[in-house]
Amino acid sequence: MNIPFNKPWFTGDEPGMLAQAAQSGHISGNGSFTRKCQHFFEERYGFGKTFLTSSCTDALEMAAILAGIKQGDEVICPSFAFVSTANAFVLRGAKMVLADSYENHPNIDADKIEGLITPKTKAIVVIHYAGVACDMDKIMALANTYNLFVIEDAAQAIDSYYKGKALGSIGHFAAFSFHETKNIISGEGGLLAVNDDRFTERAEIIWEKGTNRAAFFRGEVDKYRWVDIGSSFLPSDLIAAFLYAQLRSLEHIQIRRKEIWQKYHDGLIFLEEAGHFFLPNIPTYASNNAHLFYLLAQTNEQRNGLLSFLKKQGIHAVFHYLPLHTSPFYAEKHDGRKLNNSIRFSETLLRLPFFYELKDEEQEFVVGQIRRYFR
């Protein structure tokens, strides 16, 4: 068997949508498919104004500009994180104050954030790891008390909820990804949700290179000019057309992904009960959007042993993240606090192959080989 870690799935509607976009004669950004996608998100999830971007990284960079992050500001984010989650704020001159994860979940430990807040703190960036919500009530309460922005890195969190509220609708800003490894894809792609309407107008300008081009095309101003900083954050309408085809199959995709998740869970639960490893823990306040399936080994040696054993059987499992506070770029800038849970997740987490087209017999093979390893 050769089972890849990921395989992008196409609904079959993409070529038709791409042709429609091309025939419309408008393939640059902010065209009709862009607006269709944005409308979809705003209607379905109750986000404020949304902006399609070329990546989640771009959406995070827009959020950092909108939050007014500048040299010397402090931004709290988990150390167990993707690079862009921190880098977007470092680009604006922020000092990242890296926080630890819960002992039993890779998400930022909401009870340890308050101790990191100083007069320089401007924002808290959270990641809903594996699409599982952070404890947003606690985090939003801190933000209110200390007047901070909350940015949700919801890259993995499409169609997932916290106490019934869609992830991405709770913080001031939220960023999603449609990279080919996510649930809904457009190759590269992302979305910024602006939930605080004080920032909607400025977001539109930053999105379009610092110009009031969008207002010009709506006939609101007589010329379009350079009015602020910005960049070319908006994707081509071809990307939006591709994404729109995927969005139309969102429910179908999610049903299949949840089946896959459950099959891994049911096939492996007795090994957890036998004490070999831990399976993902989903707090009662969070839903599961079946973005990924991981297990947590007892030790780094056991994780690496299992990883290479699976590789020999043709199964491509992977691990991530390398904690940001130990990274070549940030280790020296970090204040020296030990973030033991981040390190442990980095050393023991193993992600299993997970994609729409994963066949039952392939999944049974993966589960069977893991059982064999622990026998």
Ligand X SMILES: *Cc1c(COP(=O)(O)O)cnc(C)c1O
In the complex with ligand X, the residue whose CB is nearer, 271 or 350, is: 350
Phi, psi of 165 (to 5 degrees): -95, 135
Q: How many CA atoms lie within 13 A of 244 on its CB side?
A: 23
Shortest approach of ligand X to residue 123 CB, angstroms? 16
Shortest approach of ligand X to residue 223 CB, angstroms? 33
Phi, psi of 103 (to 5 degrees): -65, -35
Shortest approach of ligand X to residue 157 CB, angstroms? 9
Shortest approach of ligand X to residue 84 CB, angstroms? 5
In the complex with ligand X, the residue whose CB is nearer, 134 or 370, is: 134
Shortest approach of ligand X to residue 345 CB, angstroms? 13
N-terminal to C-terminal alpha carbon distance within the chain: 21
In the complex with ligand X, the residue whose CB is nearer, 239 or 306, is: 239
Shortest approach of ligand X to residue 351 CB, angstroms? 11
In the complex with ligand X, the residue whose CB is nearer, 105 or 276, is: 105
In the complex with ligand X, the residue whose CB is nearer, 189 or 211, is: 189
Shortest approach of ligand X to residue 119 CB, angstroms? 28
Shortest approach of ligand X to residue 100 CB, angstroms? 17
**Whole-angstrom distance, CA of residue 80 vs CA of residue 97:** 12
**Whole-angstrom distance, CA of residue 186 vs CA of residue 76:** 30
Q: Rule CB under 6 A: which residues touch ligand X? A: 55-57, 82, 84-85, 127, 153, 155-156, 177, 179, 190
In the complex with ligand X, the residue whose CB is nearer, 17 or 292, is: 292
In the complex with ligand X, the residue whose CB is nearer, 243 or 370, is: 243
Residue 274 · residue 256 · CB < 8 Å? no
In the complex with ligand X, the residue whose CB is nearer, 191 or 214, is: 191
In the complex with ligand X, the residue whose CB is nearer, 177 or 212, is: 177
Shortest approach of ligand X to residue 178 CB, angstroms? 7
